[in-house]
A and B are shown apart, each in its own frame.
Chain A
């Protein structure tokens, strides 16, 4: 039971991170190493708005997410778009952006941990297991956010445009779909999802300048296991990794959890390089 709940929490955070990461790759073929920085900025944005500006939590969180989405669009326009023809160029520039952001956070806030307030302070007891309310909320928010994204892609005109580009960017262009605008939109969604993960997980995970490393490592592992560009693959892989880590933590030791994702990535690359849902299409 404990494994079931705690595994769900880890999986939910991983899924929010990995879906955005895989989405921008599937649509724009951008392997965004600055994805973790969006997560970090979401948490720091909330910290600044609540602790320094004294805002209530909800507007602070929404503002942080919106700003990060905007920031994602700006990054895409200024830095990524000119280099999009070169995968290597994109990797380099996004890595550079993530390092710049890390150093900036370091200089502004120092290396100490910061406190992001939780939406729910109380604990909830399910089947005799005590769990912080914030964690359950995180699971719910992840399900809603990813569900909404799915509906958006499947049911709306913009969603169809995203789908079309992910399937064949050239053909979509000939059909009159403005691919640059779609890329901006996808970048905004991807950044907002990462920021949302940061806002939700900030209260119970660490908020410090190097916090972008963990999500980027996990997102990488998940999309490799799940198949680059595949959203269902990412969700399945996020569940697998989240639960695998929790099971290891419960049955073996907490000092072994970090190796799980690395090992999964390695095995997957050796035995099935394309991942579980191994097509090169996004959906």
Chain B
């Protein structure tokens, strides 16, 4: 091998490849062909394992995989899954995806949470030509790539959540129909964390709110590291706002709730608060989120015939009720299995064609994709629910009106 260390090493490399490559092919191909029909379908699950969204993704995928396997698997192949921790950091996210693709050789990816991480992973997903069903990232940029560069990004679908542009529209509806229409609060403040998806959402929201006659008294973004919200809360109070819209996912919404509660800020609040979607959020912060409204995609109420059985089954496997990633992760496994069955093969392009035609009854509504592979909303489909924390940590849907199952309550210090 001394020759390989010389200047001739590149020639040496070619020589080695020329000899070894056919050898490998010879060794692998018959075995690989024979194995293909028996070896399990591997689902790669990149998710933030240390967070509730991640743990619940895993539990839900396990539930769905068990269900599929009980019915004989996908085209006769058993299904198994392997998890990689993508955290909330894009670089770790890339290593997680590479681990799943290169080492674990997964057939499909189901997972995700942080949009920035998903966006960083997308080139790797596209290069590996592997189908990716997102269940956590909300930035429209993810599926915009499918539209602008279909050939490269057709592998990516958003099973959930509803993208942040649709969320903004739903939030505007909530403000106009409920906060202004029903509660009669015309002066609002908008605060949110300084992150990509919020920067996308806030202008839409304040424009929409102004159109329906609300006066936006204050708009402010805070750093996700912010640990003291009292100046901000004091500003909101001083602005004369009657209702505070909050948009936060990675920031410390628990501290916000605690400080809002402890200073008894006389402004009720609600909006998109991802951590407050956790089933144990109320308990975790000592009940201080009372009367806070946050969006959710499903709660234990009969939205479809699957909703309540899913919640109850999940509760058996986990100490808490599921968060949103669980609904979509569960739905994603089942709708992928259906698409493969309809395609009749594991050919990626055929599966993509079938996924595009998906009409799947999910946990909280029908799942179908638009032309850029994004989850559609509307009647009978997934919708944004506005859910309020009430006494003893109960949760009530207060908007949309047709799904309401409880009355809006004020914070205890504002009750007359």
Q: Which residue of B lies closest to A113 (CB)?
A: B254
Query: Which of A117, A121, A131, A205 contacts B228, CB < 8 Å?
Result: A205
Binding site for A on B (CB under 8 A): 50-52, 194, 220-223, 225-232, 234-235, 237, 252, 254-255, 258-259, 262-265, 275, 278, 284-286
Show 30 residue pairs from A and B whose CB-CB distance is below 8 angstroms, ordered by the A residue: A2-B231, A6-B228, A6-B234, A9-B228, A106-B50, A110-B50, A111-B51, A112-B52, A113-B252, A113-B255, A115-B254, A115-B285, A115-B286, A117-B286, A123-B262, A123-B264, A129-B234, A132-B262, A133-B262, A135-B262, A204-B255, A204-B259, A205-B227, A205-B228, A206-B255, A250-B231, A253-B220, A254-B222, A255-B220, A258-B226
Q: Determine if B194 and A255 form an interchain contact, defined as CB atoms under 8 angstroms apart.
A: yes
Q: Is A246 an interface residue (CB 8 A)?
A: yes
Judge whether A206 and B285 touch: CB under 8 Å: no
A170 CB–B CB distance under 8 Å: no
B residues in contact with A22, CB < 8 Å: none
- Contact residue among A130, A134, A204 (Cβ-Cβ distance under 8 Å from B264): A130
Whether A166 sits at the interface, judged by CB under 8 Å, is no
Question: Which residues on B sit within 8 Å (CB–CB) of A111?
Answer: 50-51
**Given A206-B254, A255-B222, A121-B234 contact (CB < 8 Å):** no
CB distance from B160 to the nearest CB of A (A): 22
Judge whether A123 and B286 touch: CB under 8 Å. no
A205-239 vs B, CB cutoff 8 Å, 1 = contact: the mask equals 11000000010000000000000000000000000
Complex-state Cα separation, A226 to B252, whole angstroms: 30
Q: Which of chain A's residues have a CB closer than 8 A to the CB of B194?
A: 255
Q: Are A254 and B223 touching (Cβ within 8 A)?
A: yes
CA distance A9 to B262 in the complex (A): 14
B263 touches A114 (CB 8 A): no
Residue of A nearest to B255 (CB): A206
Q: Which DSSP category, helix, strand, loop or mixed, fits chain A's interface?
A: mixed
Among A9, A110, A204, A250, the most chain B Cβ lie within 10 Å of the Cβ of: A204
- Select A6's contact among B230, B275, B284, beta carbons within 8 Å: B230
Q: In the complex, A262→B284 CA distance in Å?
A: 32
For the complex, what is the distance from the CA of A257 to the CA of B225, rounded to whole Å? 10
Q: What distance in Å separates the Cβ of B274 from its nearest Cβ neighbour in chain A?
A: 12
Of residues 95 through 153 on chain A, the ones whose CB sits less than 8 Å from some CB of chain B are 106, 110-115, 117-118, 121, 123, 129-135
Do the beta carbons of A246 and B284 come within 8 Å of each other? no
- Asked whether, in the complex, the Cβ of A121 is within 8 Å of the Cβ of B262, the reply is yes
Q: Which of A106, A130, A253, A254 contacts B263 (CB 8 A)?
A: A130
Interface assignment of A92: CB less than 8 Å from any CB of chain B: no
Nearest to A209 among chain B residues (CB) is: B50
A72: B residues at CB distance < 8 A: none
Complex CA distance for A214 and B234, rounded to whole angstroms: 23
Q: Is the Cβ of A257 less than 8 Å from the Cβ of B265? A: no
Is B52 touching A255 in the complex (CB atoms < 8 A)?
no
Instruction: Report B-chain residues with C-beta under 8 Å of the C-beta of A246.
Output: 231
Q: How far is the CA of A99 from the CA of B132 in the complex (A)?
A: 34
> Is A203's beta carbon under 8 Å from chain B?
yes
Docked Cα-Cα span, A113 to B250, in Å, equals: 12
**Which residue on A lies nearest to B232, using beta carbons?**
A254
A10 at the interface (CB under 8 A from B): yes
CA distance A111 to B226 in the complex (A): 17
Task: Report the Cα distance A118→B275, complex, angstroms.
Answer: 21
Q: Which residues of A contact B254 (CB under 8 A)?
A: 113, 115, 206
